[in-house]
Amino acid sequence: MGRTLTPVAAASRARTRVKPAVGAAAAARRRWRVSGAVTDRTALRKTPTANKREQASTQPITGEPPRRWRSTEASAQHAKHGFNPEQMGMGGAVVHGNYDHLGEEVEVPPFLRVPKTASIIGAPMSWGQPRAGTDQGSQILRACGLEDNLLALEWRIDDKGDLEFDEPTRNDPAIDPTKVQGLAKNCFTVGKGLKKIHDRVYEAAKEKEFALILGGDHSLSAGSVSAILRARPDTGIIWVDAHGDLNTPETSPSGNMHGMPLGLMLGLIDPTLLPGFEWFKDVPKLNPEQIVFVGLRDLDAGERKIIRDHKITAFSMHHVDRFGIGNVMDMAIESLRKPDGSMRPLHLSYDIDAVDPEVAPSTGTVVRGGLNFREAHYVAEAVGNTGMLGSMDLVEVNPKLAPGPESEMTAALGMALISSAMGARII
Ligand SMILES: [Mn+2]
């Protein structure tokens, strides 16, 4: 009876059996390329029309592991090719240094306690946008096996359950139109709800726990990020989103508050003019150099201006296409270095609509041309690999919008992205 090897076991056997002399594999590849000789059976099966990529894959497998790509090389390449982030419309991005986020051992960051503990905070806020079902996001993420996954990643779990929020009523105070020319729908309900989120996230961060916030719509991040900034003031925010979320009641075309959390945190609107948000005047403001965007592809005109005026580092899908997600994440993480060169604590605010609707269809504001399945994971892995991630929002999963397999697929992806950010690795 023949023995079956798992792919990993087979690969390691292949490695131990075949020990080519240094440079032999490269020499073999060179020879193959120069002569065009067919050196294995796979190549014999190729048709003459096989494209270049297929031809390359017919190179003999010699057991030599692929050379490991390091971010220092990428930085050197950008320098060599005269890469200038300002010219590329990336705001104030500065690309330098040799930060290596590919280390295999990820340590617990100094601002988290050991043993590492994750506080799971359900924030089923849905009044920042118009669609029913966003409030089921936290439950469906849990149903995908979130806790088991985190336990397997050696986290201790401190599950705070789901917060409860009031519903808007006819008597809620609204914006005074003589003071603010604009709309912030349900601001009283959203503001009160965000205060609850803020308090609970602050409690977790103060206890040196990893704060994992399950949305809910993206308005909730004004509550969670402001709490993180209160506990860990230098935190850098990686905002993964199709949208800028930089609106204010004055600039917002829709008046939906899930498009305003960064506008609020940057202090672009006086919170005392927003009923429900009076408490926000006492929370730390976010500095533009503490934010980096990844995955943008749908900005309002006002948001585009804010990104440019405040020199916010922003990597749109155009930059993902041009540089590849590996380089984009290197640059994004680099951009969040403090002036003294040290790394900030990181908060990952992951809007599932950053991912392409073919992969994550069950969300409120779909825009085509987003991160593909692997790119979406890479973003989370790269941030997790820094060893500096201390909190995360996963928002805008709405199981009602595409019920059935599509909503399951979206929620499962959200859960997997959390796992990736919190330590899951392929190998
Ligand atoms: Mn968003």
Question: Which residue is it, tokens 């990820």?
Answer: 106
The set of catalytic residues is: 218, 241, 243, 245, 258, 351, 353, 396
Distance in Å, CA 249 to ligand 1 centroid: 16
Structure tokens at 346: 């990181």
d(CA 85, CA 99): 18
Distance in Å, CA 316 to ligand 1 centroid: 14
Of all residues in the chain, what percent carry a pLDDT higher than 90? 74
Backbone angles phi, psi at 167, to 5 degrees: -95, 155
Distance in Å, CA 414 to ligand 1 centroid: 14
- Global pTM exceeds 0.85: no
Domain 117-421 has CATH 1.25.40.10: no
Q: Which residue has the higher pLDDT, 380 or 42?
A: 380
pLDDT band (50, 70, 90) for residue 31: very low
Distance in Å, CA 13 to ligand 1 centroid: 47
pLDDT band (50, 70, 90) for residue 79: very low
Whether 15 shows a pLDDT value over 80: the answer reads: no
Distance in Å, CA 234 to ligand 1 centroid: 22
d(CA 421, CA 379): 8
Distance in Å, CA 379 to ligand 1 centroid: 16
Whether 17 shows a pLDDT value over 80: the answer reads: no
pLDDT band (50, 70, 90) for residue 426: confident
Whether 22 shows a pLDDT value over 80: the answer reads: no
Domain ranges of the chain: 7-57, 117-421
Whether 23 shows a pLDDT value over 50: the answer reads: no
C-beta separation of 356 from 242 below 8 A: no
- CB atoms inside a 10 Å sphere around CB 175: 19
232-273 pLDDT tens trace: 999 999 999 999 999 999 999 999 999 999 999 999 999 999
Distance in Å, CA 208 to ligand 1 centroid: 26
Question: DSSP per residue over 22-33, as a string?
Answer: TTHHHHHHHHHH
C-beta separation of 215 from 124 below 8 A: yes
C-beta separation of 303 from 251 below 8 A: yes
| Predicted local distance difference test score (pLDDT) of residue 40 | 39
| Predicted local distance difference test score (pLDDT) of residue 318 | 98
| Predicted local distance difference test score (pLDDT) of residue 338 | 94
Q: Are strands 156-162 and 389-395 parallel, antiparallel or unpaired?
A: unpaired
Helix (H/G/I), strand (E/B), else coil: 331: helix
d(CA 232, CA 168): 32
Whether 77 shows a pLDDT value over 50: the answer reads: no
Distance in Å, CA 338 to ligand 1 centroid: 25
Q: Are strands 346-351 and 313-316 parallel, antiparallel or unpaired?
A: unpaired
- Name the least confident of 51-55, 80-84, 102-106, 333-337: 51-55
| Predicted local distance difference test score (pLDDT) of residue 106 | 67
Task: Identify residue 185 by its one-letter amino acid code.
Answer: K
Identify which of 395, 346, 186 has the alpha carbon closest to the alpha carbon of residue 277. 186
d(CA 340, CA 288): 17
d(CA 65, CA 173): 64
Question: Which residue is it, tokens 């990104």?
Answer: 307
d(CA 114, CA 94): 33
Neighbours of ion ligand 1 (CB under 5 A): 218, 241, 245, 351
Structure tokens at 160: 């705070």
Distance in Å, CA 2 to ligand 1 centroid: 53
171-226 pLDDT tens trace: 999 999 999 999 999 999 999 999 999 999 999 999 999 999 999 999 999 999 99
Q: What is the mean pLDDT of the chain?
A: 82
| Predicted local distance difference test score (pLDDT) of residue 105 | 58
